[in-house]
Amino acid sequence: MKYYSTNKNTFPVSLNEAVIKGLASDKGLFMPEKIKKFDPSFFKTIDKLSFQEIAFEVAKKIFGDDVEESKLEEIVYDTLSFDCPVELVKENIWSLELFHGPTLAFKDVGARFMARLLKFFLGENQKQVNVLVATSGDTGSAVANGFLGVDGIHVYVLYPKGKVSAIQESQFTTLEKNITALEIDGVFDDCQHLVKTAFLDKELNEKMALTSANSINVARFLPQAFYYFNAYARLKEKGALNGKYLVVSVPSGNFGNLTAGLFAREMGLPVEQFIAANNANDIVFEYLETGNYNPRSSVETLANAMDVGDPSNFARILDLYGNSHSTISEIIKGYWYSDEEIREIVKRVYDQTGYLCDPHGACGFQALKEFLSEHQTGVFLETAHPAKFTETVESIVGKGNVPLPEKLAEFMKGEKQSISLGKGFEGFKDFLLKR
């Protein structure tokens, strides 16, 4: 399979090159030249398959041309050492819980898969590969833990100073080994800009092998399609569909998660409607309503992992549907919520159902509640464990109501090790060249 750039000003490349490069030389994002569809019969018996079995079938459609089947199976099963179950929250609204992995966030799936695929492609290559990743919260921890201790790979996590939770920060600043945390004096968009600029800097790329583990990398976002298929299978298994149409609500920041869902739909997954649930960073909501895309500086909110003012993966959505606003706005509906509304949603859902949403999942739940009809079943993505936002969530539902999982408690025991940098590229470049 060849991968082309969304900017279409460079030649297509192999999966190997797309994964190692991360970003195309014309600043575009890589896209597969073809999306292979499942026969409709696959979905009639999908509920008989396990999560790992489903993911392997999906992986063969996406990566099977480039990775031998036995190796691909090994990568998939090693990646998915945990489950992504669905839980009934209220009537026809279900939660797809994506927080059962090592760092309790949905990004464990893509980060772990990418780490294993990158290691496979590097093979016996002795040159160190440097992974640059910008994070607004969970990406940094998932990538850092996914790559921790992998020979030949060093990870640099760039995060905005003072704008991630203490628990999130502890998950990538206490690891050491081959992980370096860089505390950037700016917002997430500044971190993302540094990473993108680094890939296009000739001197840096001559002296260092660079790649990205953000969702701009095809090996990070495409495996996220696995759990959309699994959600459908588990809902079918529980009798939650029974002729009803499926609606999926996705808390959306950089839009890699929603893009993976759209790829699943293009592969034949029976999803009638996607919902992009935003916080006050409503750039894509505005596009869906008006057809105008106006990126701007992000604003800080309770749902910090969605604090993105210029979502990278939106370029993939535009490319996937030929820049057609009418098509995109038909497939995706948008909602956004203020901090005050998010607090209210978390409290109401907890009081009425006993289910505890994190601030991001709360946006997904409410969007479903407002959109769903009696002929539809809805599932929202609960993207991170609420304990990753303990201070925020306990201020809403009361202290003692957010138990700290043992995995998170262990991270909190470590000593913070980070390096402070400004948001200017020259300082960042100079730092990398001196490493």
DSSP string, 141-188: HHHHHHHTT-TTEEEEEEEETT-S-HHHHHHHHS--TTEEEEEESS-H
Per the residue annotation, which of 107, 163, 236, 369 is the catalytic one? Answer: 107
203 part of a folded domain: no
305 part of a folded domain: yes
Residue 124 pLDDT: 56
CA–CA separation, 285 vs 351, rounded Å? 29
**291 φ/ψ sector (left φ>0, alpha ψ -120 to 50, else beta):** left
107 a catalytic residue: yes
* Position 313 pLDDT exceeds 70: yes
Give me the domain span that covers residue 346.
82-102+221-403
> What is the three-class DSSP state of 81?
coil
332 part of a folded domain: yes
Lowest mean per-residue pLDDT among 159-163, 235-239, 325-329, 412-416: 412-416
| Total structural domains within the chain | 1
CA–CA separation, 115 vs 224, rounded Å? 14
168 part of a folded domain: no
What's the predicted TM-score (pTM) here?
0.91
274 part of a folded domain: yes
* Position 16 pLDDT exceeds 70: yes
Residue 136 pLDDT: 78
pLDDT digits (tens, 9 = 90+) for 199-251: 889 999 999 989 888 788 999 999 999 999 999 999 999 999 998 999 999 99
- Residue 89 maps to which CATH number? 3.40.50.1100
Residue 125 pLDDT: 61
The CA-CA-CA angle for residues 132, 206, 4, to 5°, reads 65
338 part of a folded domain: yes
Q: At what angle do helices 69-79 and 107-122 cross, to 10 degrees?
A: 140
Residue range 244-265: mean pLDDT, rounded: 96
Dihedral sign, Cα of residue 423, residue 201, residue 23, residue 72: negative
Residue range 314-325: mean pLDDT, rounded: 97
34 part of a folded domain: no
211 part of a folded domain: no
Residue range 361-378: mean pLDDT, rounded: 96
* Position 122 pLDDT exceeds 70: yes
